Amino acid sequence: MNVSAQPQGSLAIPFDHQRLDRLMDEAGIDVIVATSKHNAQYLTGGHRADFFDYMDATGVTRYLPVFVYAKGAPEKAAYVGHRLEKFQTENNPLWTPETQTLSAGSVDAMQKAVAHMRKSGLAPKRIACEYGFLPFDAANVLRAAYPDADWVDALFVLERQRARKSPAELAKLKVASEAVLASMQAVIEGHGAGATKNDIVDALRLEEVKRGLTFEYCLITAGTSLNRAPSDQKLEQGDIMSIDSGGNYQGYIGDICRMAILGEPDAELVDYLGEIETIQRAAMKPIKAGVMGREIYAAGEPLRARSKHHNHLDFLAHGMGMVSHEGPRLTSSGPIPYPGEYADLPLEAGMVVSVETTLLHQTRGFIKLEDTVVVTETGHEIYGEGLRGWNKLGTGL
């Protein structure tokens, strides 16, 4: 059976729905229609379509999960998925009072969502949709159904909701971060002179998968090159290597960057990485619940600006979790152009911030550290703390 309903009173809602209700109320939103894979996964409590995890697969349309949530009425929530999802939901039923796994594409998925909204008596005056994740044809269906409703982007409200992670979410992030770090250590120790960047990325992929992760990406440099794409470039004696990877554990991404060298670092390299470490620690020091988000930049940016390498030194702090760059977004002037709405908001316990400092040295190469930092009531905790210095390549050969 691929239409199911939960009896009222038996709802085990997997997220803080009172918080979402408050955020919707502040924004004047009556109904959220979420259509991104990550928000559908979050709102369902972990469900993600196996068949459509990284592709659309059909060709004439796209896969579209639709999650409907009405403010103050979780008993009217619904999930609309593809017909192939019925096998997953049979094995692991969702919390939603209605679950439909009957759709084949974007238009019929939204038609089913609209039918549910009407059946539930919803007549929203303001609908929040994910503008960047809503196909034009599906948007037309929703617009035609509620022509007089105002539309707003659901991005900020849903990011605010996801920004404060639960203990269960933090546990997944910790697993992901520590598994990425352990994978990096294994790859660094197991590769030496003659290994290519492609060899190292392929090996890292296998190590992360072996530890229960889904490999997401690896940005890698070798020698003096600033090129971060995998290639057939070979490691030679004296080369440095940066390895920056994200591994996904049950929807949550561990994202870390560490350095390695084939040989011994000289005093100059030690100083460069030491300066980056100093900036990292300074930026992390003020992180604590209640501190304004801008204080992270206020602590790290002056050290970057005073460095004699400031023209080639980048500092960035950004939120992460189910998405590599999500709330809290702390600056509007970083290398990735997005609004820094959280700069003037207080950090909350459970928020997760990636702190990264990068030196793009024209003669020594690409040198970077990136850390995953969790905000706590009394301070912060770093996930995946080790391997912060110059790690020696090939020691396990």
Asked whether the beta carbons of 95 and 7 are under 8 A apart, the reply is no
Structure tokens at 316: 């960035």
3-class SS of residue 197: helix
Average pLDDT value for the chain: 95
pTM recorded for the entire structure: 0.93
| pLDDT classification of 1: cutoffs 50, 70, 90 | very low
Q: Report the residue count for the chain.
A: 397
- Per residue in 144-177, pLDDT (tens digit) is 999 999 999 999 999 999 999 999 999 999 999 9
- Per residue in 263-284, pLDDT (tens digit) is 999 999 999 999 999 999 999 9
- Per residue in 105-120, pLDDT (tens digit) is 999 999 999 999 999 9
| pLDDT classification of 2: cutoffs 50, 70, 90 | low
* Closest alpha carbon to 187 in 203, 199, 198, 210: 203
Taking each helix axis from N to C end, the angle separating 294-306 and 267-284, rounded to the nearest 10 degrees, works out to 150
Higher-confidence residue of 338 and 137: namely: 137
Does residue 4 carry a pLDDT above 70?
no
Strand 98-103 to 3-5 pairing: antiparallel
Strand 126-129 to 31-34 pairing: parallel
Nearest-5° Cα angle at 143, 138 to 149: 145
Give the pLDDT of residue 9: 46
C-beta neighbour count of 344 within 10 angstroms = 10
Q: What is the DSSP letter of 51?
A: T
Give the pLDDT of residue 336: 76
Give the pLDDT of residue 8: 42
- Per residue in 190-211, pLDDT (tens digit) is 999 999 999 999 999 999 999 9
Name all domains of the chain by residue range, CATH numbers in brackets: 3-163 (3.40.350.10), 167-392 (3.90.230.10)
